[in-house]
Amino acid sequence: MYNVEATAGDLLQVIGHTTHGAAESAAAAAAREESPEAALVEAVRRGDNEAFGRLYATFGRMVHGILLARVPYGEVDDLVQDVFLTALKKIDSLRDAAAFGPWIAMITRNRAMDYHRRSRETSEVTEEVAQTRAVQTESVEVLNLIRGLPEAYREPMILRFVEGMTGPEIAERTGLAPASVRVNIHRGMKMLRKTLSRGEGALKL
C-alpha cells in the first residue's frame, strides 16, 4: 500500500471535513488515520476534485514509472492521463479504498498491455494492407505484361494465370485443342521471361 504523507489537518481541509458525530464508528475513524489515501478516495467519491488532484500528485510518479518501463517514452505522458481518467471513472468499483495504490497500478499495467495490443493490431492491419496493395500491384503488372503478348498467347495466358483455369478447362471452354493451349501458354511464358530479362518488368516468372 502506498501511503500519503499528510497531516490530519491537511486531510480535513482536502475532504471538506464535516462533523459525523456518532454516525462514524471508531473503527472507521481509525481506518482513516491509518490510510490517508482511503480518505481521499472517499472524498473523490463524494465529488471532491481537489482530493483527486492529491491522489494524482501522490501516485502520478508511480504510474509514470510503470508506464515508462513498458511503453515508448513519447507515449508515457498521454497514457498517464488515460490511466487517471480511467481511475476516476471507475473509482466507485474499488472495493477497498485503502488499496488505491495497487488498484491504479493494475490499471496502469493493463493500459500498457492494451497499448501494445492496439499497436500490434495497427501494425498487422498496416502490413496486411501493404501486402494486399503489393499483390494488387503485381497482379496489374502481370496483366499489363500479358496484354502485350501476341493475341494467340494473350487469351490462354490470362485464363490460366489471372482466372486460375487449368489447361483442360481452357481447352474445353474455348474449343481450342488441348495441345494448342499448352503450346500457346508455354510460348507466352517464354516471351514474358524474355521481356522481364530485359528489365521491362519488375516481376520474375
User: Residue 16: CB partners within 8 Å, gap ≥ 6?
Assistant: 43, 48
Measure the CA–CA gap between 170 and 175, rounded to whole angstroms: 8
Measure the CA–CA gap between 98 and 34, rounded to whole angstroms: 9
Question: Residue 139 belongs to what H/E stretch?
Answer: helix 100-147
In the numeric block, the cell 481537489 is attached to 50
Measure the CA–CA gap between 183 and 170, rounded to whole angstroms: 13
The C-alpha cell at 187 is 510460348
Measure the CA–CA gap between 185 and 95, rounded to whole angstroms: 74
Series of mean pLDDT values for 10-residue runs along the chain (205 residues)? 39 39 46 73 92 91 88 88 93 92 92 81 51 55 75 78 79 81 88 74 45
In the numeric block, the cell 510460348 is attached to 187
Question: SS3 string of 81-101?
Answer: HHHHHHHHHHHHHCCCHHHHH
Q: What is the pLDDT of residue 13?
A: 44
CA distances in angstroms from 36 to 22, 49, 52, 89, 180, listed in the order given: 21, 16, 12, 21, 90
Q: Which domains does the chain have, with CATH numbers?
A: 8-123 (1.10.1740.10), 148-197 (1.10.10)
The C-alpha cell at 137 is 500491384
Nearest to 176 by CA among 204, 202, 155: 155
The C-alpha cell at 10 is 491537511
User: Phi and psi for 96 in degrees, rounded to 5?
Assistant: -110, 105
Q: What is the pLDDT of residue 139?
A: 60
The C-alpha cell at 58 is 501522490
Measure the CA–CA gap between 181 and 199, rounded to whole angstroms: 27
Rounded to two decimals, the pTM is 0.45
